Structure 1
């Protein structure tokens, strides 16, 4: 007989299957009314030394996904980091709250409140795409102490999103208008808007089965469609008025245009201690070249300890 796993004290969502509780994710209700869902990945050394000692000697990492992503995207990135890793669902994504406001100051405020709630002092913040601009915004707001920044394939500039994101929303809205029972049927619709099966699977990961057997988007497509201009923007315009002097590793895909060479001078004015790690990939760095990404991050963090 399977033993019933004890539930941790953290507020959490779970489902009951015969004789077993399976922990899916935890949630935190923030003082601004937003609820953020997250996974906490604890390294193996926890059992030997205790989580408290581990946190004191290895500050935690907070990992943020990109637009249309979720905490699930970063599970494989926690290996070899040897410290607690919080993988968050940002607002309007995954299992977190939906809210009409979706811009970088709002996303950064959510993250600030999350760090304060969990008493995460001087964490390393890693974010891809939308998550990259979120962690850079948080650093420049300078309201909570952080140790290191690792933005992945985005720069602190106003730059139009690749037109693919507009196509994604068109395809997703088309699916929303159709009665879908099988993910393969949704994929057939999305093929008209995106050729890459890996990107389609990434987007389709946001579908959830309803009690009536149909599949619907878990994310608010209309809100995120309306927020595309905000996601292209960056809230800080003048490096003379806002600058963060801490260590920054900018990881960029060499086949992507989001951190072009001509953007590096502006990046350096906002973040004068930034270093650059090039990975031979497109925009989806962590999924296209996960080992190369992990190696770059682990080696860089080792130098900072």
Structure 2
């Protein structure tokens, strides 16, 4: 196990952004998965291994758009930013647990004929990516988990609080996002987190603000999101290159969890980023550097 610490570095202005294409894949299990494909620069070699980017609870592919562009450029790889089921523009389904989420990604990788992809997941997306790796139903080249660990651990109480706020907003039939934000502010002080949650709103035909995500399904799934489908690291493990990126101000990957991580993922490295749980948005340059260095080592 090697410990990495991302160091600050002045980043050149972003240029030569990748082209983006929006698409929807109808999986053989009936679920429709929306995704953005961020293509590498035209001069990049063709056929480079793709990156598949999975967001967290209440998020969407939009959250990872800027980072996907940068990684496509820096790694010269195509980056697929996915909307997981019950999020963004993907299908709604009453079943929402890590096995179901992993099955969706397995179907997606199979249909797109990806056999050497890198999975990057944050929070819920991290446990989804870990589940895919440990199930070994489809081959992946490497794994990057962002601020989550392969253990059963209670979610922060904030998530249940957000559900209550969302229900209040829905019941209030607000017509302006500012009014929705005023209600949400009673539950969450941090403006960036409120803005993140409010990206799930859209204006319905009657002029009211509606949630794009199925609040009922996700509220019922909060316990599932705290769970992890594998309990015994002596029974299953993923030996491929693995990077765990954790926020040092977050509790989701505490030091006492590292031995368990090492048993499930014996070839893992650790990158500490001075941030909270929202590592990618709080410290994008630290995150970018840790990911790029890790993946370039695999080339």
Q: Quick check: 1:33 aligned with 2:30?
A: yes
Find the counterpart in structure 2 of residue 64 from structure 1: 54
Find the counterpart in structure 2 of residue 19 from structure 1: none
Give, in whole Å, the separation in 1 of the partners of 2:194 and 2:152: 27
Q: Quick check: 1:184 aligned with 2:178?
A: yes
CA drift of 1:206 comes to 0.0
Q: What is the TM-score normalised by the length of structure 1?
A: 0.89
Cα contact 2:163–2:219 (8 A) shared by 1: yes
Give, in whole Å, the separation in 1 of the partners of 2:43 and 2:141: 25
Give, in whole Å, the separation in 2 of the partners of 1:168 and 1:209: 20
The gaps in structure 1 that reach 5 residues or longer are 1-22
Find the counterpart in structure 2 of residue 16 from structure 1: none
Aligned partner (choices 112, 126, 137) of residue 118 of structure 1: 112
CA drift of 1:73 comes to 0.5
Give, in whole Å, the separation in 1 of the partners of 2:46 and 2:51: 12
Give, in whole Å, the separation in 1 of the partners of 2:121 and 2:46: 23
Aligned partner (choices 199, 224, 233) of residue 230 of structure 1: 224
Find the counterpart in structure 2 of residue 7 from structure 1: none
Find the counterpart in structure 1 of residue 157 from structure 2: 163
Find the counterpart in structure 1 of residue 43 from structure 2: 48
CA drift of 1:211 comes to 1.4
Note the 1:1-305 alignment, pairs <5 A.
Answer: 25-44=22-41, 47-48=42-43, 54-55=46-47, 58-78=48-68, 79=70, 80-305=74-299
Give, in whole Å, the separation in 2 of the partners of 1:207 and 1:82: 33
Bigger Rg, structure 1 or 2: 1
Cα contact 2:21–2:37 (8 A) shared by 1: no
Cα contact 2:53–2:81 (8 A) shared by 1: yes
Give, in whole Å, the separation in 2 of the partners of 1:39 and 1:127: 15
Give, in whole Å, the separation in 2 of the partners of 1:300 and 1:243: 20
The runs of at least 4 aligned residues of structure 1 exceeding 2 Å deviation read: none
Cα distance per residue 1:53-72 (max 9 Å; x no partner): 522xx200000000000000
Instruction: Supply the RMSD in Å over aligned alpha carbons.
Output: 1.0
CA drift of 1:24 comes to 7.0
Secondary structure, in 3 states, of the residue corresponding to 1:27?
strand
Cα distance per residue 1:105-146 (max 9 Å; x no partner): 000000000000111111000000000000000011001000
